[in-house]
């Protein structure tokens, strides 16, 4: 009877024991390995009592494994119980068909190399194949587990290992953090991390205390938090974990959970990071329009890194990370924060992130343009690759595109749509430093906003840039989240010399411009005769007078001058070509119309006088030219202007200035005199 009672008691005790499983979640944060260099790790814990070690890299923010070199893999050096299941989350960069071998043993592993030796690898429990499977149920009792790649490079976002642990009369519980379980932090900050709680199923046992420990106190220490929020002080860059532990009591088993941290040293510029000797430490470098000065391309054509420079330093550093985006080019701008290891590789200082995700690229189109000095308002057209710009912006037209003029002195972006409100209608005017300014005093260059592959360019008369000077201007075009910068360099050069073979024939047309005593100017048109136009076309070998290229001519120096609108045909007393200055040095203007017609003006000239002005019509292909002479006679008048022909006996005009063949009723002007006909 006593034996029966003892047996029943044993059964009751056995039935009262709780079966337990614990699942460890392994990821890049747990291994503590970042970057693409393969690195050993050890003494890593998760939820169970298992301790993990091995060798891997951290590419693509994953556990990166390889099959060559016979040393990459993850093993357990301390058991977590009996392994029952392995589940893998494949990172998308892993090629389909890659095979992960899972091994089991009842002898502790010592290093990942054990998995490549038949005597130490233990039993091959099975495989997990990317694209085919994600988990493996374990049959048999194995206290230690290991896994490695069997077919090249692979990236594991997460590996879950489920352990069966011995049951007890205490009820199993779990510890959970009330937030994320991985964080990015920075040296020097006090970081409040989430409170951890003990949970029995869905019930949170708020009355059970949890303690916190850091696995590396050289990197961080626990501080007293506010209320229930614990705080960790970040001391140095590196990776560490905080373990939240419930010690257990008479009712509940002990339990723990971990929260992983990656601590970076912050740097605000290239100059700042260069002050720190690179020693493979974790760094977070913030870039603001750093310029790509070169791209590291291997002999096989792989784009493995970029060299960058910013305004803070003339020295360049490298961002070394495989697969530089194809759209990134030398001269482009990089902004954002790059997280990686700061190290020196054979004399090259480089930061090595896992990927390019934290950076934004702005393409820059470089445009070089040469403009002849002293053109003033005469417009040039600066062309750019319209199709390439629209493609970079991801749009088909400029509708909805926003324009910004970029100040060269401080980098400020001035939105074009707001320029008129802030500064008056600047229309693209910039000062000598390349900053947005108002038209007028201080204006230097006008580079109008870009559209359809063109930008109009002119300069301010009286404030012209000097010969051989160089000027920079930038426009930024923004469409949605994409930006393109047009970087224009303008070099001011001399006008090209023109050498023409001039015909001995001089074609002439005369203009008489009436002026008043106060010097106000009146316009009069002088036009070549049809016979002269036909003769010029025949002599130059052109179909129409409009096909001729027009040059100005200085009779004093015999100089042939390329015509720009800034000069506008102004002449001095000798008939030489000039830029208008508002003085009597340029007393009249003979402006070209279309090669056949010329517009004659007086300016501040109140006395009768006679001048001559010359233009050249040329065939640019044959470089043959003819001279057009325009005698201009200024005659004091009441304000009516006329043209006298050499063979005309009298000139008759109505009050509107229209020439008549005979007097008509009303007011007539005959040879400059007013005659009224009834």
Listed range (75-89, 399-413, 446-460, 603-617) with the worst mean pLDDT = 603-617
Strands laid side by side in the 190-192 sheet: 190-192, 229-234, 220-226
Give 644-659 pLDDT, tens digit per residue: 333 334 466 665 555 6
pLDDT reported for residue 75: 98
Q: How many CB atoms lie within 10 A of CB 537?
A: 20
pLDDT reported for residue 307: 98
Write down the pTM of the prediction: 0.66
Q: What is the mean predicted confidence (pLDDT) over 343-372?
A: 93
Q: What is the mean predicted confidence (pLDDT) over 630-641?
A: 64
Q: What is the mean pLDDT of the chain?
A: 85
pLDDT reported for residue 14: 43
pLDDT at 18 over 80: no
Domain 268-362 has CATH 2.40.50.140: yes
Listed range (6-15, 430-439, 486-495) with the worst mean pLDDT = 6-15
Q: What is the mean predicted confidence (pLDDT) over 184-199?
A: 95
pLDDT reported for residue 3: 42
Closest CA to 429 of 413, 449, 400: 449
Q: What is the mean predicted confidence (pLDDT) over 468-487?
A: 94
Which distant-in-sequence residues (6+ apart) come within 8 Å of 428 by Cβ? 405, 416, 446, 447, 448, 449, 456
Residue with structure tokens 């057009």? 628
**Residue 284 in 3-state DSSP?**
strand
Closest CA to 644 of 610, 676, 678, 616: 610
pLDDT at 477 over 80: yes
Q: Are 165 and 103 in contact (CB under 8 A)?
A: no
Q: Where are the alpha helices (DSSP H) in 324-424?
A: 386-393, 416-423
Instruction: Map out the domains of the chain as residue ranges.
Output: 20-167, 174-264, 268-362, 364-493, 501-647
Listed range (259-273, 500-514, 571-585) with the worst mean pLDDT = 571-585
Which distant-in-sequence residues (6+ apart) come within 8 Å of 95 by Cβ? 130, 152, 153, 154
pLDDT reported for residue 10: 41
Rounded CA-CA distance 476/259 in Å is 44
pLDDT reported for residue 423: 42
Give 123-168 pLDDT, tens digit per residue: 999 999 999 999 999 999 999 999 999 999 999 999 999 999 877 6
- Which pair of tokens denotes residue 443? 């204006």
Percent helix / strand / coil, the chain, rounded to 5: 10, 50, 40
Q: How many CB atoms lie within 10 A of CB 491?
A: 14
Please check whether the two domains, 364-493 and 501-647, share a CATH topology. yes
**Residue 127 in 3-state DSSP?**
strand
**CA distances to 267, 316, 319 from 312, in Å:** 12, 10, 17
Residues forming beta bridges with residue 349, ordered by sequence position? 344
Residues forming beta bridges with residue 104, ordered by sequence position? 123, 145
The CATH code belonging to domain 364-493 is 2.60.40.10
Q: What is the mean predicted confidence (pLDDT) over 319-344?
A: 94
Burial class of residue 127 (count of CB atoms within 10 Å of its CB; 0-12, 13-18, 19+)? middle
Rounded CA-CA distance 43/33 in Å is 13
pLDDT at 421 over 60: no
536 — alpha (psi -120 to 50), left (phi > 0) or beta?
alpha
pLDDT reported for residue 43: 92
pLDDT at 330 over 70: yes
Rounded CA-CA distance 590/521 in Å is 12
pLDDT reported for residue 490: 95
| Of residues 85 and 12, more confidently modeled | 85
Confidence of residue 347 (pLDDT cuts 50, 70, 90): very high
Listed range (8-17, 411-420, 606-615, 627-636) with the worst mean pLDDT = 8-17
Q: What is the mean predicted confidence (pLDDT) over 299-324?
A: 94
Q: How many residues does the chain have?
A: 678
**Residue 539 in 3-state DSSP?**
helix
Give 438-454 pLDDT, tens digit per residue: 887 788 898 988 888 99
Q: What is the DSSP letter of 471?
A: E
- Which pair of tokens denotes residue 653? 């005009």
pLDDT reported for residue 374: 79
Give 25-35 pLDDT, tens digit per residue: 999 888 988 87
Q: Are 564 and 579 in contact (CB under 8 A)?
A: no
Q: Are 41 and 30 in contact (CB under 8 A)?
A: no
Rounded CA-CA distance 566/569 in Å is 9
pLDDT at 13 over 50: no
CATH class of 501-647: mainly beta
Q: Which of 171-180, 287-296, 414-423, 590-599 has the highest mean pLDDT?
A: 287-296
Residue with structure tokens 């000797």? 277
pLDDT reported for residue 644: 36
pLDDT reported for residue 583: 61
Return the CATH fold of 174-264: Immunoglobulin-like (2.60.40)
Listed range (94-98, 402-406, 521-525) with the worst mean pLDDT = 521-525
Rounded CA-CA distance 161/612 in Å is 100
Q: What is the mean predicted confidence (pLDDT) over 359-364?
A: 95
Q: Are strands 413-415 and 402-406 parallel, antiparallel or unpaired?
A: antiparallel
The CATH code belonging to domain 20-167 is 2.60.120.260
Q: DSSP strand E in 67-120: where?
A: 73-78, 82-90, 99-105
Closest CA to 632 of 579, 675, 591, 670: 591
**CA distances to 32, 59, 90, 133, 153 from 130, in Å:** 24, 17, 7, 6, 12
Q: Are 613 and 587 in contact (CB under 8 A)?
A: no
pLDDT at 518 over 80: no
pLDDT at 46 over 80: yes
| Of residues 304 and 652, more confidently modeled | 304
Give 57-92 pLDDT, tens digit per residue: 988 889 999 988 889 999 999 999 999 999 999 999
């Amino acid at each position: 009877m006593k034996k029966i009672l003892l047996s029943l008691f044993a059964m009751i005790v056995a039935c009262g024991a709780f079966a337990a499983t614990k699942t460890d979640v392994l990821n890049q944060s747990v291994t503590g390995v970042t970057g693409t260099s393969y690195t050993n790790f050890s003494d890593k814990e998760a939820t169970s009592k298992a301790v993990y070690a091995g060798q891997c890299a951290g590419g693509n923010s994953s556990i990166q494994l390889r099959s060559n070199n016979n040393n990459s893999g993850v093993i357990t050096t301390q058991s977590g119980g009996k392994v029952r299941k392995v589940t893998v989350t494949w990172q998308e960069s892993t090629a389909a068909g890659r095979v992960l071998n899972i091994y089991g043993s009842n002898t502790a592993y010592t290093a990942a190399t054990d998995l490549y030796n038949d005597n130490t690898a233990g039993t091959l429990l099975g495989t997990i194949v990317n694209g085919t499977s994600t988990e493996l149920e374990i049959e048999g009792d194995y206290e230690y587990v290991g896994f490695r790649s069997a077919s090249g490079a692979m990236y594991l976002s997460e590996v879950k290992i489920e352990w069966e642990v011995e049951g007890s009369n205490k009820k199993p519980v779990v510890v959970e953090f009330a937030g994320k379980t991985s964080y990015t932090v920075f040296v020097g900050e006090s970081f409040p991390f989430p409170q951890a709680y003990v949970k029995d199923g869905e019930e949170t046992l708020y009355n059970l205390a949890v303690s916190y420990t850091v696995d590396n106190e050289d990197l961080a220490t626990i501080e007293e938090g506010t209320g229930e929020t614990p705080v960790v002080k970040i001391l140095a860059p590196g990776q560490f974990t905080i373990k939240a532990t419930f010690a257990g009591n008479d009712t509940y088993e002990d339990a723990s959970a971990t929260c992983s941290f990656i601590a970076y040293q912050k740097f605000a510029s290239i100059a700042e990071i260069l002050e720190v000797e690179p020693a493979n430490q974790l760094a977070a470098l913030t870039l603001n329009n750093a310029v790509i000065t070169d791209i590291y391309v291997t002999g096989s054509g792989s784009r493995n890194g970029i060299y960058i420079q910013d305004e803070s330093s003339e020295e360049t550093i490298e961002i070394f990370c495989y697969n530089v985006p194809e759209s990134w080019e030398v001269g482009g701008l990089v902004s954002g924060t790059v997280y990686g290891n700061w190290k020196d590789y054979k004399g090259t200082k480089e930061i090595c992130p896992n990927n390019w995700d934290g950076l934004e690229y702005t393409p820059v189109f470089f445009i070089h343009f040469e403009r002849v000095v002293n053109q003033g308002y005469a417009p040039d057209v600066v062309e750019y690759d319209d199709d390439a710009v629209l493609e970079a912006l991801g749009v088909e037209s400029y509708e909805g595109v926003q324009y910004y003029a970029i100040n060269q002195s401080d980098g400020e972006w001035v939105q074009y749509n707001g320029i008129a409100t802030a500064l008056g209608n600047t229309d693209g005017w910039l000062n000598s430093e390349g900053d947005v300014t108002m038209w007028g005093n201080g204006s230097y260059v006008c580079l109008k906003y870009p559209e359809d592959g063109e930008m109009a360019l002119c300069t301010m008369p009286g404030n012209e840039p000097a010969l051989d000077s160089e000027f920079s201007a930038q426009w930024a075009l923004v469409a949605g989240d994409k930006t393109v910068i047009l970087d224009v360099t303008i070099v001011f050069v001399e006008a090209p010399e023109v050498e023409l073979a001039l015909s001995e024939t001089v074609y002439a047309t005369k203009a008489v411009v009436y002026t008043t005593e106060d010097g106000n100017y009146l316009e009069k048109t002088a036009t070549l005769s049809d016979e002269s136009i036909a003769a010029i076309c025949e002599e130059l070998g052109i179909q129409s007078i409009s096909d001729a290229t027009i040059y100005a001519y200085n009779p004093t120096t015999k100089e042939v001058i390329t015509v720009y609108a800034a000069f506008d045909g102004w002449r001095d007393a000798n008939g030489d070509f000039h830029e208008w200055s508002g003085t009597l040095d340029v007393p009249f203007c003979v402006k070209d119309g279309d090669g056949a017609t010329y517009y004659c003006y007086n300016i501040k000239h109140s006395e009768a006088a006679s001048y001559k002005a010359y233009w050249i019509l040329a065939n640019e292909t044959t470089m043959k030219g003819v001279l057009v002479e325009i005698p201009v006679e200024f005659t004091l008048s009441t304000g009516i202007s006329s043209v006298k022909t050499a063979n005309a006996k009298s000139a008759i005009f109505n009050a509107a200035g229209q020439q008549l063949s005979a007097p008509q009723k009303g007011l007539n002007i005959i040879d400059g005199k007013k005659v009224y006909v009834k």
